Amino acid sequence: MENTVISKKSIYYPPGGMLIWIVISIEMLTFLMGIAAFLVSRNAELSLFNESQLMLNKTFGTINTIVLITSGYLVAEAVKKLAKGDSEKSYKYIMWAIIIGSLFLVLKAIEYNGKINLGIALEENTFFTFYWLLTGFHFVHVLVGVVILTILMIQIKKGNYSASDYTDVETGASFWHMCDLIWLILFPILYLI
């Protein structure tokens, strides 16, 4: 059978493959619509949104952003090492990406717990309805991302990928970066502005 070499410059092969980019596009569009709805509601109830935002911990949010960025960096390095045929280093990078990525979930869980203890639930007010829905939806994505990275780590350890065959890892990495990108547009809107 004739081998087909797919060029990375091909329009049919974005990083990670076409399918993950369809997923990324849909997810980004969904979150952008959520952000638009949040901003429109914010204009209608500006003082309520500003007061509610003060109840969020900006320091916590900033640390979580750094955590996700760091995890994204480690995943990028894992893909790079695999592309060079260094499975051992790739495995270590992806393992640390999972550990640090999980830290995001732990910190978010602590933040959620604090809100629940204060009795701030989904129906508290419009701001917190958006807060719970947008960050909760993102939380689930990160959780799924951790599971995907864990599966990839196991496969790398088993030696199932090589420098000439690591598309799955690229796809999983793209999903993880998407979690990072969503948080980057969500965090300033909810916590900072």
CA neighbor of 54 nearest in space, from 193, 179, 175: 193
In whole angstroms, give the CA distance from residue 156 to residue 56: 39
Q: Which is nearer to another protein, 9 or 123 (CB)?
A: 9
Q: Which is nearer to another protein, 28 or 48 (CB)?
A: 28
| Residue with token string 């994505």 | 141
Question: What b-and-e string marks burial along 7-32, b requiring 16 or more CB atoms within 10 Å of the CB?
Answer: eeeeeeebebbeebbeebeebeeebe
Q: Which is nearer to another protein, 22 or 116 (CB)?
A: 22
- The helix-helix angle for 167-187 and 18-44 (nearest 10°) equals 10
In the complex, minimum distance from the CB of residue 139 to another protein, in angstroms, rounded to a whole number: 19
Q: Which is nearer to another protein, 1 or 193 (CB)?
A: 193
In the complex, minimum distance from the CB of residue 1 to another protein, in angstroms, rounded to a whole number: 26
In the complex, minimum distance from the CB of residue 3 to another protein, in angstroms, rounded to a whole number: 21
Q: Which stretches of the chain bind another protein, using CB under 8 A?
A: 8-11, 13-16, 21, 25, 28, 32, 35-36, 39-40, 42-43, 58-59, 62, 65-66, 69-70, 72-73, 75-77, 79-80, 173-174, 177, 180-181, 184-185, 187-189, 191-193
* DSSP category for residue 124: S
In the complex, minimum distance from the CB of residue 187 to another protein, in angstroms, rounded to a whole number: 8
In the complex, minimum distance from the CB of residue 180 to another protein, in angstroms, rounded to a whole number: 6
Q: Which is nearer to another protein, 146 or 173 (CB)?
A: 173
CA neighbor of 98 nearest in space, from 156, 46, 27: 156
In whole angstroms, give the CA distance from residue 172 to residue 170: 6
